[in-house]
Every structure is written in C-alpha cells, then in structure tokens.
Amino acid sequence: MKHNFFEHLNKEEYEILANKGTEAPFTGEYNDHYEPGFFVCRACSNKLYESKTKFNSGCGWPSFDDEIEGAIVRYEDNSLGRRRTEICCSKCDGHLGHVFHGEKITEKDTRHCVNSLSIKFVPYKNLQIATFGAGCFWKVQYVFSQLLGVYDTQSGYMGGDSINPSYEEVCKGNTNHAEVVQVAYNPKEVSFKDLLTTFWDNHNPTTLNRQGNDIGTQYRSAIFYHSDSQKKIAIEHKNDIQNKFNSPIVTEIIAKEKFYRAEEYHQQYISKNNLGLCDV
C-alpha cells in the first residue's frame, strides 16, 4: 500500500510527499545543486530525473525540464484558485511539485518545480570532470556537448579572485575569472586526451587573453586539471602539438579552483537560440 512507502519519512518529508505540502523557496538542499547524477523519490527510490535536465529557473525550488520516461504521473490541481498540473512519483504517488510550460527558459520549454524534500540525489560513480577555458563559453559548451561520452556540460567561471561573480563583473575584467566549461564525461567512452584534442582544435591557444575579436583575461586559454593524471596528460599533449603552431602555446595548465556556474541564459546558449558557432 502507498502509506508503506512513507512510514520511514520524517515529519517534514511526510507533509510534502503524503499530504502535498510545499517547502519554503530557496531553503531546499538541491536548489543550487548541479553535480552529475540522478534524483530519486525520497519515499520509494524511484528514479525520477537526470541531473543534466536540471536548470536554474530562479523560482527557489529545484527545476528540471524533462523526466525519466514513465517516472512521473500528472493530476489536475485546482487548489489556490487556479488551474495547475501536479506531478507525483509513478511508483508511490508521492507528491513532488508542479509542472509548468510556456516560460521559454530552456529548449524544452518545460519546468518541473520540485521540492527538495521529495527527492534524493545519487551521484554517478563512472564519470569524471574536466574544465577548459577557450574563449567565449557559448561555443566551447556547444562543441563539447556534441561529443559521444560527454554526459553534461556547464558554462561558468573559474580561476579568479571574487566570490559568486556575475557575467557583467567578469566582462569588466577585474575579477580575474576565466569563462570556462565544465565537462562531465565517461572515460570509458571518451578519454581526457580526446577532450584535449577537441580543446586544441576549437580555439587558438597561442593568443594571450584573446580569441578572435574577444579580448580580455576572461578569454584566456586554460586547462584546469582535476587530478595529477590530468595534469601530466595535459602537459604532454601541449608539448606534442606545439609543432602544429607557428607561435608558442600560451595555455595555462593549473589546478582547478571553485567553479561558479554561469547565469541560466548562458547555459546551452547556442542550442537554445539556434545560432551558428562564433568565429575565433
């Protein structure tokens, strides 16, 4: 019976999943959570959402633009004096939140607004992370997102001095942050060397703080390594390809620092706006 799925929940979790309650906005543990993995129902562990479908809607609750097939059921909800669509777990019927359409935030134009207390995060153990700066992150994200074996990509900022930088602050050039793309990939399908090949092939690593008409420290060429192995491979790869360029490669190879995810409108910008690639 349904209630058996809820008997292990604490009071706050039970109020939401069983009684269709709502947690306060901007209080949930998953509101700003973007690690690679998936989210399951807190009551019955049914797999609900892939983390790569999560986005920042600004609403204060975890937002997803797609569900795992068959994981969600929908009900008409006429409470609060307006018509909404409630979403529940297909296995235990636990309340998750509501789904909305037509807000034009993502390509799929869908927002599953979900309570953090309704879900639990399960990280993927077979993925690794790589971070690259290669000029405007719009193009860089698009290029890496097309690779087989890449699970997810996120545009953001790294390597600077300020906390929680905005795009406007980074563009002014006084934060020292680089525009970067963080790549979650399966090394059994695409190696770090393969990612490096894509990196070198899609920007000019010989121009200091510049890619084409984009000038500034935020456009510098950089590899932020996440392990000693990545560092070693990156240095060797850089030395191996130097003879392909007429000028010295100026790419920084430095340890990764805190990644600050860029504003939502920058994420998958080229795909969302149906644009061609920038020239470099």
- The residues annotated with a catalytic role in the active site are 113, 136
User: What residues form DSSP beta bridges with 178?
Assistant: 158
How many alpha carbons lie under 13 Å from residue 50 in its C-beta half-sphere?
9
Q: Rounded to whole angstroms, how far apart are CA atoms 3 and 26?
A: 28
Distances in Å between the Cα of 33 and the Cα atoms of 19, 62, 200, 252 are: 25, 8, 30, 28
Q: Rounded to whole angstroms, how far apart are CA atoms 225 and 251?
A: 12
Q: Rounded to whole angstroms, how far apart are CA atoms 143 and 31?
A: 27
Q: Rounded to whole angstroms, how far apart are CA atoms 264 and 57?
A: 7
Q: Rounded to whole angstroms, how far apart are CA atoms 192 and 126?
A: 14
Kind plus residue range of the DSSP H or E element containing 143 = helix 137-145
CB-count exposure of residue 26 (10 Å: 0-12, 13-18, 19+):
exposed
Q: Rounded to whole angstroms, how far apart are CA atoms 131 and 78?
A: 46
Assigned token pair, 29: 């543990």
Helices (H) and strands (E) in the chain, counts: 7, 17
- Tell me how far the alpha carbon of residue 120 is from its chain's centroid: 17
Q: Rounded to whole angstroms, how far apart are CA atoms 266 and 221?
A: 19
How many alpha carbons lie under 13 Å from residue 189 in its C-beta half-sphere?
11
